[in-house]
Amino acid sequence: MDAASTKPGSLTIVVELENASTISWSDTLESIRPMAKQLEAWRRSQPGSTGEVLFVHAGDEKDSIELLDELKRGCPELFQCVHVRCLHAPNDRYYELKNRGIEEARGEIVAMLDSDAIPEPGWLSALLRPFERNDTIAVAGQTYLKFEDFLSKTLALVWIFPLRDDKPRWSKLRTLYVNNCAFRAAWIKQNPFALDAGFKVDCSILSRRLVQDGHELVFASAMAAHQPLRGLRFLAWRAFVYGKDSDRRVVALKSKSLSRRITSALSTWYKMERRAVWRVLQLPKRVGLPMWQVPGAMAIGISYYCIALVGQLCMALGMASRSPEHLPAFAEHHS
């Protein structure tokens, strides 16, 4: 193997646990167990390699101890193949939790998998394979929404993620989503998330920084299924915040001009409404949505992006709060 091609010998996987608060513990284990199986296979395929998984949560040290016990009971096989640590960052948000994991990571490669993303077989090997080239800095996996009922099937169609089998268009349609990705540790430690006040804005800011540094974002067939978004109330909140985040992206990446922000809001609304309507009409069979449910699905898709438009315009016109976005308490799973 020449100097331009080397298999990385150490790996850290950072798992944030903010998203775990919106699903059951059994759903969280649905993500952890296949990851553990793939880590075991990775260790066997690379004798001498070292791996660790960092679970990062917004609680305190006591919560870390309890979490470690729960992990040992729920997924003991994980502890047999890699080192496991639980890190606490009291009251931190999504990207702050990821930054905490990045800071503590010991591996040459830092992979990120959200606690509500279920890796498919072959996910880890596909995510790591591009790093055999020494010039690879960042790799994006492919995440799609899991679906099981009317609402989740609708969201699989109208949400920002492509469907699972939209492979040829992935790299053209999207930016980096850090629920399923990996970086050279040396680069990401020097370029952690910028911690915008938005809910999910820092992916875009990091993507621009990557390009500005002259690096290519490599798209890999590392597939993961995102747990369905649950509840109309949470969906309405998510739509409004999606709109606010869209305005934050315009300000951070394009222009602070009010006219540009309003034009962008209307343009984004038109583009996403058009996409949602087209996908609901053309692709319902892809998610098993019966035709009699198509009108309801279309109504949800149209409503979602209308709410997002209101959020984006309110943000541009100074009518919405600019304080940091936090996951609302009603989104938490309490069963």
Q: What is the pLDDT of residue 5?
A: 67
Closest CA to 176 of 190, 191, 165, 186: 191
Give the three-state DSSP class for 118.
strand
Tell which residue, 232, 250, 236, has the closest CA to residue 315. 250
pLDDT(2) > 70: no
Percent pLDDT > 90 in the chain is: 87
What's the rounded Cα separation, in Å, for the pair 155 and 150? 9
pLDDT of 48 over the 50 cut: yes
* 14-47 residue pLDDT tens: 999 999 999 999 999 999 999 999 999 999 998 8
- Identify the burial level of 286 via C-beta atoms within 10 angstroms of its C-beta, where 0-12 means exposed, 13-18 middle and 19 or more buried: middle
State the Cα torsion 137-104-329-321 to the nearest 10°.
-60
- Rounded-to-integer distance, Cα 79 and Cα 36, Å: 8
Domains of the chain by residue range: 10-226, 232-330
Whether the per-residue pLDDT at 1 is higher than 50: the answer is no
Given a contact cutoff of 8 angstroms between Cβ atoms, the answer to whether 128 and 222 are in contact is no
pLDDT in tens, 176-192: 889 999 999 999 999 99
Could you tell me whether strands 109-113 and 117-119 are parallel, antiparallel, or unpaired per DSSP bridges? unpaired
55 forms beta bridges with 15, 86
| Mean pLDDT, residues 205-228 | 93
Identify the CATH homologous superfamily for domain 10-226: Spore Coat Polysaccharide Biosynthesis Protein SpsA; Chain A (3.90.550.10)
DSSP 178: T
150-158 helix and 232-253 helix, angle to the nearest 10 degrees: 10
**pTM, entire model:** 0.94
